[in-house]
Amino acid sequence: MNSTFVSSADGTRIHAVVHGEGDRDVLVLGGLAEHAGRYTHVAAAFASRGVRTTIIELRGHGNSAGVRSHVMAWAEYVADLNAVARTLRPGWSLLAHSMGGLVALDAVREGLAPARLALSNPLCGVRMKVPAWKSAVGRSLSRIWPTLALANDLDPAHLSRDLAVGTAYLADPNVYPRVTARWFTEMTAAQHRVAAMTAPSCPVRFFLSDSDPITDAVAARAVAARIGAEVQAYPGMLHELVNELGKEQVITELGDWLLG
């Protein structure tokens, strides 16, 4: 395992962790408030198949620079992803989860071209209830106080039916449980762009659970239908497919798709 830093377009230092020395490259992009350590087991599984796996921490996440869970423009996340992708060998594939899935779709919409894209419960829509007052505050303060941080309302029990996953998430000092006012409006704008995107230049498969209480599988299925992507369903599973009961099968099937 090796840590590396890459400069994004605006000079922000983006941290990535590289596992394995295989002859194929897979880039892993996690969700909101996550860090590379939450995907070590995925990288180990891919390494056993001869894959070099790079896990990116977007700005404001993990050991990357930047304000926690904040961007002034969603394009900053896209630039971070592009910066790390340029360090990979041709033929690399991308696995993106939740918020990372929304970033990946927006990046592909703008021309990023992995060999294959796997999306795990991407944040094409929000299923969990966001209080109306919080939405109103987020929109109104996005311009005048963009860095105002509000609780993200994520319930750790919604991550996995394996209760140990939620317990570990809650105790993890590298998980930041807030988002900023500007992050909220930028996320919403990205969802609108992705909902209107046309067919991408790379094969895409959505790995979805209709039981996910955090992201909206209906919105994700609508995007998949619009761009002609395949959908693989995991009935009964919650948000984090690679941390769910039965995760071994999910990780194997993700690898099968990414490696073609």
Tell me the DSSP string of 119-187: EES--SSB-SPPPHHHHHHHHHHHHHSTT-EEE----GGGS-SSHHHHHHHHH-TT---EEEHHHHHHH
Residue 103's pLDDT is what? 98
pLDDT of residue 207: 98
Distance separating alpha carbons of residues 186 and 24, to the nearest angstrom: 33
Residue type, 204: V
**CA 19 distance to own-chain centroid:** 18
Least confident window among 41-55, 135-149, 207-221, 242-256: 135-149
Residues 187, 102 contacting (CB under 8 angstroms): yes
* Range 81-93 average pLDDT: 97
pLDDT beyond 90 at 245: yes
Check residues 77 and 147 and name the one with the higher pLDDT: 77
Residue 138 predicted with pLDDT over 60: no
Rounded CA separation 49/9 (Å)? 33
What are the residues whose beta carbons fall under 8 Å from the beta carbon of 237, sequence distance 6 or more? 160, 161, 209, 211, 212, 244, 245, 246, 250
Query: What pLDDT was estimated at residue 152?
Result: 83
Distance CA 196, CA 180 (A): 25
CB-CB neighbours of 108 under 10 Å:
24
Query: Residues 6 or more apart from 27 whose CB is under 8 A from it?
Result: 53, 54, 55, 56, 84, 85, 88, 92, 93, 94, 95, 114
Neighbours of 155 (CB within 10 A): 12
Are 156 and 183 a contacting pair, CB within 8 Å?
Answer: no
Cβ atoms of 230 and 207 closer than 8 Å: no
Q: What is the pLDDT of residue 196?
A: 97
pLDDT bracket for residue 132 (50, 70, 90): low
Task: Calculate mean pLDDT across residues 80-103.
Answer: 98
Per-residue pLDDT band for 130 (boundaries 50, 70, 90) equals low
- Residue 241's pLDDT band, with cuts at 50, 70 and 90, is very high
CATH classification for the domain delimited by 2-259, as one of 3.40.50.1820, 3.20.20.80, 1.20.20.10, 3.40.190.10:
3.40.50.1820
**Is pLDDT above 70 for 253?**
yes
Mean per-residue pLDDT over the chain, rounded: 94
pLDDT at 56 over 60: yes
Question: What is the predicted pLDDT for the residue at 148?
Answer: 78
Tokens 């969990």 belong to residue: 128
**Model confidence at 135: pLDDT above 80:** no
219 phi, psi to nearest 5 deg: -65, -40
